């Protein structure tokens, strides 16, 4: 399929999750189509954290939800281990998806306000007809730093935002997942609480042997928690780079723009906010630019960029780039 780049996918035997050519479209007014995600691919090894970074509206949440089949993607393949999640019956999806859990940006609204903590934690297994003991619930609550004696009878509105996110992590853990998809899990929390939740996610990942997809628009957050980072722009992948070497190795003009705007950003601003100031707004996903989607904002754009969509190619160890005019083998002088 045009626009897909699979150069960065690892051997099938090593992957916990494999997403190929994922397309997410939404109908819009006037018979138009929102091209939220346009043929992205990525995979996850056992115990790995993949960071997905990109500015607001680039399709991160749509991609995460489509991996969970909430709702299923317009097209593409999602494989968890050796089981396909797309194109199978709803019942099969539900069964297979249980090994993959997602937590969201706004923890309070993802919890049923009428239910108590003890029931919210047990809800997932109960849906599957599995009763859980008080002790099992208490173990998970303690694992996420909540004191069962204090929170047991509380409802979500009686907890802080950070406590609600801890509760969401506990709910996910009750289903013993292999993969945890975190969609901006700390964006709505106070800065002081963000670090606590990030530390908890790291600990939880190790303790429960999870692999993680970590979606964020904040470069600093993604960089610290991830092993590799996938940078998205308007529904496409522009670069995949090992997290530790991001600043030194990133080559894509968009990634460079994100990195270069960091020192100018104030503590409360994100790198992405800086990039938006420096290089204009994200074009509409209703009518994406031809060729390379970053072209209208790109200082290196050439004629070729308007007609030929750049594909991901390997430019270093674990490093993949979709750009005609940067990196080794660039087709035009930058």
Ligand X SMILES: Nc1ncnc2c1ncn2[C@@H]1O[C@H](COP(=O)(O)OP(=O)(O)OP(=O)(O)O)[C@@H](O)[C@H]1O
Instruction: Give the nearest distance from C-beta 68 to ligand SF4 in angstroms.
Output: 30
Among 23, 305, 312, 315, binds ligand SF4 (CB under 6 A): 305
Query: Per CB under 6 A, which region of 104-112, 201-209, 264-272, 293-301 contacts ligand SF4?
Result: 293-301
CB of 89 to ligand SF4, least distance (A): 40
Cα within 13 Å of Cα(258), Cβ side? 25
217 binds ligand X (CB under 6 A): yes
For position 36 contacting ligand X by CB under 6 A, the verdict is: yes
Stretch that binds ligand X, among 4-12, 50-58, 193-201, 294-302 (CB under 6 A): 50-58
Range in contact with ligand SF4 (rule: CB under 6 A) among 3-11, 171-179, 185-193, 318-326: 318-326
**Stretch binding ligand SF4 (CB under 6 A), from 110-118, 131-139, 222-230, 288-296:** 288-296
Q: Which of 294, 312, 315, 319 binds ligand SF4 (CB under 6 A)?
A: 294
β-strands 179-183, 211-216: how paired? parallel
300 counts as binding ligand SF4 under rule CB under 6 A = yes
Distance separating alpha carbons of residues 257 and 299, to the nearest angstrom: 10
Residue length, the chain? 334
Q: Which helix (H) or strand (E) holds 207?
A: helix 191-208
61 contacts Mg ion (rule: CB under 5 A): yes
- Per CB under 5 A, does 226 bind Mg ion? no
Which of the stretches 51-59, 75-83, 130-138, 149-157 binds ligand X when contact is defined by CB under 6 A? 51-59
Candidate segments 55-63, 94-102, 147-155, 287-295, binder of ligand X by CB under 6 A = 55-63
Distances from the Cα of 97 to the Cα of 13, 65, 88, 91, 172, angstroms: 20, 12, 12, 10, 12
Dig out the tokens for 123 from the structure: 């809800």
Instruction: Decide: is 185 part of the binding site for ligand X (CB under 6 A).
Output: no
The 3-state DSSP composition of the chain as helix, strand, coil percent (nearest 5) reads 35, 20, 40
Cβ–Cβ contacts within 10 Å for residue 278, how many? 13
Q: How far is the CB of 64 from ligand X (least distance, A)?
A: 8
Could you say which residues in the range 31-60 bind Mg ion, by CB under 5 A?
Answer: 60
Per-residue CA distances from 109 to 66, 106, 113 (Å): 20, 6, 8
d(CA 272, CA 30): 31
Does 324 engage in binding with ligand SF4 (CB under 6 A)? yes
Minimum distance from residue 289 beta carbon to ligand SF4 (Å) = 9
Q: How many CB atoms lie within 10 A of CB 45?
A: 16
Give the number of other Cβ atoms within 10 Å of residue 127's Cβ: 11
Using N-to-C axis directions, what is the helix angle for 161-173 and 134-143, rounded to 10°?
130
Q: How far is CA 98 from the centre of its chain?
A: 18
* CA–CA separation, 240 and 221 (whole Å): 16
CB atoms within 10 A of CB 74: 16
Binding track, positions 208-247, relative to ligand SF4; x by CB under 6 A = ----------------------------------------
Footprint on this chain of ligand X (rule: CB under 6 A): 26, 34, 36, 54, 56-62, 217, 285
Footprint on this chain of Mg ion (rule: CB under 5 A): 60-61
Footprint on this chain of ligand SF4 (rule: CB under 6 A): 253, 292, 294-295, 298, 300-301, 305, 310, 323-326
């Amino acid at each position: 399929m045009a626009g897909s780049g699979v150069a960065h996918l690892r051997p099938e035997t090593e992957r916990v999750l494999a997403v190929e050519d994922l397309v997410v479209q939404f109908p819009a007014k006037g018979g138009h189509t929102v091209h939220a995600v346009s043929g992205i691919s990525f995979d996850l090894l056992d115990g790995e954290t993949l960071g997905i970074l990109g500015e607001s509206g680039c399709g991160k949440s749509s991609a995460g939800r489509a991996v969970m089949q909430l709702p299923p993607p317009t097209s593409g393949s999602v494989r968890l281990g050796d089981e396909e999640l797309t194109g199978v019956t709803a019942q099969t999806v539900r069964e297979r998806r249980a090994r993959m859990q997602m937590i969201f940006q706004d923890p309070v609204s993802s919890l049923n306000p009428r239910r108590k903590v003890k029931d919210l934690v047990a809800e997932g297994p109960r849906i599957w007809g599995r009763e859980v003991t008080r002790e099992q619930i208490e173990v998970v609550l303690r694992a996420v730093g909540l004191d069962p004696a204090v929170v047991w009878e509380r409802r979500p509105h009686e907890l802080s935002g950070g406590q609600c996110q801890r509760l969401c992590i506990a709910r996910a853990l009750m289903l013993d997942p292999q993969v945890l998809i975190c969609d901006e899990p700390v964006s709505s929390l106070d800065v002081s609480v963000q670090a606590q939740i990030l530390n908890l996610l790291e600990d939880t990942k190790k303790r429960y042997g999870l692999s993680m997809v970590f979606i964020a628009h904040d470069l600093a957050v993604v960089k610290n928690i991830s092993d590799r980072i996938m940078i998205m722009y308007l529904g496409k992948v522009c670069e995949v780079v090992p997290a530790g070497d991001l600043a030194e190795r990133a080559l894509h003009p968009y990634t460079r723009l994100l990195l270069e705007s960091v020192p100018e950003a104030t503590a409360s601003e994100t790198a992405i906010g800086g990039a938006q100031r420096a290089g204009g707004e994200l074009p509409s996903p209703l009518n994406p630019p031809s060729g390379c989607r970053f072209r209208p904002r790109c200082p290196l754009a050439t004629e070729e960029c308007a007609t030929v969509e750049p594909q991901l190619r390997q430019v270093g160890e674990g490093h993949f780039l979709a750009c005609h005019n940067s990196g080794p083998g660039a087709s035009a002088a930058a």
